[in-house]
Structure 1
Amino acid sequence: MQRHPVRLPSVFQVFAALGLFLLMAFSFTAQLDLPIQLALYIGWFVIIGLGIKLGHSYKELEQAATQGIANGLGAVLILLAVGALVGTWIAGGIVPTIIYYGLKAIHPSIFLAATMIICSLTALATGTSWGAAGTAGIAMMGIGQGLGVPAPVTAGAVLSGCYFGDKLSPLSDSVILASSMSGVEIVEHIKGMLPIALISYIITGVLFTALGLHYAGNVDMAQVNDVIVAMEQQFVITPLSFVPVAIVLVLLAMRLPSFPVISLGSVLGVVWAIVVQDMNPLAAMNTAWAPYSIESGVSFIDAILNRGGMESMLGSVAVIVFGLGFGGLLDKVGVLETIAKLFERKVESAGSLATSTIGTAFLGNVFGSAMYVSLILTPKICAKNYDRLGYQRKNLSRNAEFGGTLTSGMVPWSDNGIYMASILGVATLSYAPFMWLSFVCIVVTILTSYMGWFVDRCPPTTEVSEVAQTDTLDAVAQKA
């Protein structure tokens, strides 16, 4: 069978294929009550069909899908480990203890601002938004529900803090990936993000403080006291329950691998369930797999604590696997490269450059279904425009980071969207409107770029080292 030369998809082919996928994704979830996993599964064959039409062999496309899955399997392992952590930490009374003391100590008027600050400090120290959301984030969700703050609002404050801290931490995988792919030193990358990130953080803090004052007047303190009493009746509340939290955070801050550290945290949860909560050893171990079950008679406690376990993450694992494969296919077929060429025609200033880079990074999340896909492809696609127009690569790494990392939690079928929705117990599209730091940061970036603020120039060049980009990509892939 004669094989045709491989070529890039046309604009019409790209929009037809991606439009069909988006139509399936939204209709399956919003109208037909079908799982997003099916939309991603069918989407594979849409892109495979397009790839074959463009001259790729089926074997090449299958390898691209499996390679995409392989590159992101670390996220699957962490997701399962966090599921075990949540289940055992609830059984061990660790999460209930944090919620108990939080309800007693945090005033409703400052709750949302305090949530953002606590989560940002946790992410900054550990270098992981996932770890911060899986520890401090879960506790703040429980406290917020006890104070009567809507869960999507609390989740927005949690994620605003988690992603801010993650972006400014030299320990963060996304920081390392974005800077490496752009050919920028990590310290320079962080310094390039710092001014806009701090401005956005202050603005977001003011917004959450104002919203917190609104909810403060609606808090029923009698209900809060009922929850505190019920916690005392259901669990042994002791400051010793903070020990596993401290151990996990310190180990993550020491830059030890996340998967074994979080798994160790779940082991400590089992120990605390047996020793502190006097739980049957087999039942305590089972909470690492099956969701913890409690019938306290208090709806708040039952809603927030009947969760966890690796079993509860299996649906999310399927989404991530299909999503990673879908992203691998899109990369192989050249879909995002075609979209980037459309942007390139209109890129002639720092403002349009920032806008196109952020847009490309966001599309990397939407169609690549994983943050790492966005952070790898965006610098590769956009670098030549920065060189051509004479802007330093740290502008590229900053814009790719803001467009890729800060929006990753907004896409229901992306790795971050699935993880955050599973951990926080709030649908992605419900909390996304309250991810205020992400929106503010992107708006501030685009506005300041058009004004020429926080933009670093360099001599323009038309020469882009494709070899250097390829070598960097290979190095990052090997490290991952």
Structure 2
Amino acid sequence: MNALILTLFLGGLAACIASGTSVLAALLFGLVCFAGQALLQGHGLHALAGMMWSGVRTIGHILCLFALIGLLTGVWRAAGTIPCIIHLALPLVDPSYFLLWAFVLCSGMSLLLGTSFGTVSTLGVICMLLARAAGLDEGPVAGAILSGIYVGDRCSPLSSSAALVSALTRTSLYDNIRLMWRTAALPLGLSCLAYGLLSPSGNAPVTSAISDTLEQHFVLNGWTLLPALCVIALSLLRVAVKKVMLVSIVLGVLICLLVQRLPLEEVLRCLVLGYASRPGTEMLAGGGLVSMASVGGIVLLASSYAGILEATGLLRGLRQAHAWLANRLGRVRATVLASIPLSAISCNQTLAIILVHQLCSPAHSNRSEMAMVLENSAVLVSVLIPWSIAGSVPCAALGVDASCLPYAWYLYLVPLLTVLWPAWMTGRRQGI
């Protein structure tokens, strides 16, 4: 029966991929399947509700954090914070090392925003437009951008995936980030070296037209950078992430009203529905509370599985297989390898993180180790699955296909180095 239930769930996921239906529909179908299995085993409705709540309560505060991320990404657009960062960053681009600069700039933007989709839809799109104008090969450029936008997705205090990992493993977000930066040094250095060596000579990208367009629609000065600067300063002081975001959102709203001179109703609409672009600023559209609705729904549904899967024993066989593999390869290597098929069937980063944690956490007695393995595997491996929205959505935004994935070297280097040197890449020197 367990095999049949899992087959039905995977079939629902496959049907969603084939039809283009939202993954939320497959998760709802899966919840019905798993709940039905629990009822057939004799668990009552009250017990079933308790199982679902036991999973949801572990990530309840994450839903609040997702809402704050949505508000922040909307107001940063309207306040001119993102346009100002782009305006200051583009003149730094050296056409002789375009791939390197695309990677570095997208990495920096993703660290500030904490979102891969927000970075690719703004600075990433601009870098691709410049590359096309210069006649550069789109594949390597898109790969460099894809690598860069996921640097912050792994290491930023504003990252929803980093917050989710911290909540699931019950570890400190800032402690995790400190370890992630230490373990990211080698893959970041190797990625920069590779993109620097591969950067072809091309015509100088024309950045003045983009800067002029941004200056026409926004007031760009030091005030507009305050929301980003406060995030950096307060994060260094290890202020709670929610407080950091609230301060940045309030500053953004004030700048919208006092510097950009936007009506209050337009600011409120940006907070909820996201920034509505004007002609010439289409790449800035997005953000807002509604932008996090889908990922919030995925987390809510997927987390409700946890208690049901435990009570019905659906994961027991898979955990035994993982334990067998861990005894032969080591628990870290076994978890990284397990993240590949789990990411393939998840179709998105959030569900991949939750499934890898549910399946592999019993093998890891150290919670910090589990957090680092999740960051080094499911967070990045899911991007390399061609049909996963973690990679397909950024590729669609850039106007390229999955042929750019082999050039996303940072996404390969982190899990590969974790397999080769698990003790170093999880922040521990022994016990792996």
Q: Contact 1:340/1:360 (CA < 8 Å) preserved in 2?
A: no
1:18 maps to 2:1: no
Alpha carbons of 1:433 and 1:290: their partners in 2 closer, same or farther (altered >3 Å)? Answer: farther
Match of 1:78 among 50, 65, 89: 65
User: For residues 322 and 355 of structure 1, do their structure 2 counterparts lie closer, same or farther at Cα, with a shift above 3 Å needed?
Assistant: same
- Quote the residue 2:333 is aligned against: 355
Taking the TM superposition and a 5 Å limit, the aligned residue runs for 1:255-266 are: 255-266=238-249
Q: 1:64 touches 1:325 (CA, 8 Å); kept in 2?
A: yes
Please say which of residues 268-277 and 363-372 is displaced more in the overlay.
363-372
What secondary structure sits across from 2:11 in the alignment? helix
Matching of residues 456-471 of structure 1 within 5 Å? none
Deviation at 1:164, TM superposition (A): 5.7
Gaps in structure 1 of 5+ consecutive residues: 1-8, 384-391, 461-480
Say whether the 8 Å CA contact 1:266–1:288 is kept in structure 2. no
Equivalent position of 1:98 in the other structure: 85
CA distance in structure 2 between the aligned counterparts of 1:433 and 1:58, rounded to whole angstroms: 48
| 8 Å Cα contact 2:118/2:287 also seen in 1 | no
Could you tell me whether the CA contact under 8 Å between 1:160 and 1:436 is conserved in 2? Answer: no
The aligned residue for residue 235 of structure 2 is: 252
Q: TM-score, normalised by structure 1?
A: 0.69
Deviation at 1:308, TM superposition (A): 1.9
SS at match of 2:286: coil
The structure with more radius of gyration: 1
Query: Distance in 2 between the 1:202 and 1:53 partners?
Result: 54
Distance (Å, rounded) in 1 between the aligned partners of 2:100 and 2:256: 32
Whether contact under 8 Å (1:200, 1:441) holds in the other structure is yes
- Aligned twin of 1:157: 147
Q: TM-score, normalised by structure 2?
A: 0.75
- Residue of structure 2 equivalent to 1:217: 202
Contact 1:319-1:413 within 8 A present in 2 as well: no
**Which segment is superposed worse, 75-84 or 151-160?**
151-160
Alignment partners' CA distance in 2, 1:110 and 1:369: 36
Matching residue within 342, 364, 371 for 2:353 = 371
- Residues of 1 paired with 2:364 and 2:64: CA distance? 31
The answer to whether the Cα contact below 8 Å between 1:358 and 1:399 also exists between their aligned partners in 2 is yes
Alpha-carbon offset, residue 411 of structure 1: 7.7
Compared with structure 1, are the counterparts of its residues 57 and 364 closer, same or farther at alpha carbon in structure 2 (3 Å cutoff)? Answer: farther
The reply to whether residue 141 of structure 1 matches residue 124 of structure 2 is yes
After superposing the two structures, state which structure 1 stretch, 113-122 or 257-266, moved more.
Answer: 113-122
1:217 is matched by which residue type in structure 2? G
C-alpha distance in structure 1 between counterparts of 2:236 and 2:255, whole Å: 23
Which residues of 2 match residues 394-405 of structure 1 at below 5 A? 399=373, 401-405=375-379
2:189 to 182, 196, 202: 202
Equivalence for 1:473: none
CA distance in 1, matches of 2:115, 2:219: 25
Amino acid at match of 2:246: S
Aligned to 1:271: 254
Q: In the superposition, relative to structure 1, how do residues 158 and 249 fare at CA in structure 2: closer, same or farther (>3 Å)?
A: same
8 A contact 1:289–1:311 mirrored in 2 = yes
Deviations, residues 438-461 of structure 1 (Å, cap 9, x unaligned): 3222223334579xxx99666x9x
Secondary structure of the equivalent of 2:272? coil
Please tell me whether the aligned partners of residues 113 and 157 of structure 1 are also in contact (alpha carbons under 8 angstroms): no
Preserved contact between residue 403 and residue 442 of structure 1 (Cα < 8 Å): yes
* Correspondence for 2:319: 340
Per-residue deviation at 1:46? 1.5
Change (3 A) 1:54 1:135: same
1:156–1:433 Cα contact (<8 Å) kept: no
Moved more, 335-344 or 41-50: 335-344
Moved more, 336-345 or 268-277: 336-345
Work out the CA distance in 1 between the residues paired with 2:70 and 2:50: 30
Residue of 100, 110, 113 corresponding to 2:100: 113
Q: Which amino acid aligns with 1:322?
A: L
Amino acid across the alignment from 1:277: Q
Residue 381 in structure 1 maps to residue 360 in structure 2: no
2-side partners of 1:457 and 1:78: how far apart?
34
1:48 maps to 2:27: no
Q: CA RMSD in A?
A: 4.4
2:226 matched to which residue of 1? 243
**Alpha-carbon distance, 1:43 to partner:** 0.8
Match of 1:463 in 2: none
The alpha-carbon deviation at position 57 of structure 1 amounts to 3.8
Task: Kindly provide the CA deviation profile for residues 150-170 of structure 1, in whole angstroms up to 9, marking residues without a partner as x.
Answer: 695355223442256469x9x
Unaligned 5+ segments in structure 2 are 133-137
Give me the whole-angstrom Cα distance separating, in 2, the residues matched to 1:291 and 1:456.
Answer: 45
What is the distance in 1 between the residues matched to 2:14 and 2:74?
A: 31
Contact 1:146 1:227 (C-alpha < 8 Å) held by counterparts: no
3-state SS of paired residue (1:345): helix
For residues 288 and 132 of structure 1, the distance between their equivalents in structure 2, rounded to whole angstroms, comes to 16
| Residue number in structure 2 paired with 1:464 | none
Deviation at 1:361, TM superposition (A): 5.0
| Mapped contact 2:102–2:145 kept (Cα < 8 A) | no
- For residues 258 and 346 of structure 1, do their structure 2 counterparts lie closer, same or farther at Cα, with a shift above 3 Å needed? closer
1:465 corresponds in structure 2 to none
Alignment of 1:293-442 (within 5 A): 293-296=276-279, 298=280, 301-302=281-282, 304-349=283-328, 351=329, 353-360=331-338, 369=351, 371=353, 374-375=356-357, 378-381=360-363, 383=365, 399=373, 401-407=375-381, 417=390, 435-442=408-415
The CA distance in 2 between the partners of 1:285 and 1:437, in whole Å, is: 38
Change (3 A) 1:448 1:87: closer
Q: Does structure 2 conserve the Cα–Cα contact (< 8 Å) formed by 1:85 and 1:262? A: yes
The amino acid across from 1:309 in the alignment is G
**Aligned equivalents of 1:322, 1:175: Cα separation in 2:** 16
CA offset at residue 110 of structure 1? 4.0
Secondary structure at the residue paired with 2:242? helix
- In 2, the alpha carbon distance for the partners of 1:426 and 1:74 equals 33
Shift of 1:341: 0.8
The answer as to whether partners of 1:81 and 1:263 remain within 8 angstroms in 2 is: yes
Aligned length in residues: 408
Q: Which residue of 1 aligns with 2:25?
A: 38
